[in-house]
Amino acid sequence: MIIERIYSIERVLECVPFEVEIRNKHRDASKVQKMLLFVQSQFENPMFGFWIASEENILGYAVAMISLVPGGESLIILRLYAKIPKVRDGLIEELKQFAKQFGVKTARITVRKNVKALTRKYKFKPVSINMERKIWET
């Protein structure tokens, strides 16, 4: 298995079928097109990364960015997708190395489902509640 940090939207497009699957399972409500535009806009940002794990085909991928906001320094995991535990563990190790470059020791992830599973398997713990409201209608 090879895990590489990528810098081209062409490689990101290979992950679109997985993103569609995620949305079909109601694990993300955002539009794939908006996600792609965001990723493309961040390739020049050294505190943003997109990694793909592959052999002959894509096995998984991770998307993350670093926040250096005082008091909230963290690795923000935007997406971690891999069905095979070994692949997921490899991607997590890449994310750890990425965070280490910036002296960041905390990882954060926002989830809609499987809170108990993330707590049990990966030692994440709930530390706050995200709340939202509409500020205007579109």
The pLDDT tens digits of the residues spanning 50-72 come to 999 999 999 999 999 999 999 88
Its CATH architecture, for the domain 2-113, is 3-Layer(aba) Sandwich (3.40)
pLDDT at 130: 75
Can you name the residues that pair with 4 across neighbouring β-strands?
52
Its pTM stands at 0.86
At 121, is the pLDDT very low, low, confident or very high (cuts 50, 70, 90)? confident
pLDDT at 138: 64
pLDDT at 103: 96
Sign of the CA dihedral with 115 first, then 74, 91, and 25 last: positive
Q: What is the pLDDT of residues 99-114, one digit of tens each?
A: 999 999 999 988 777 7
Number of H helices, E strands in the chain: 5, 5
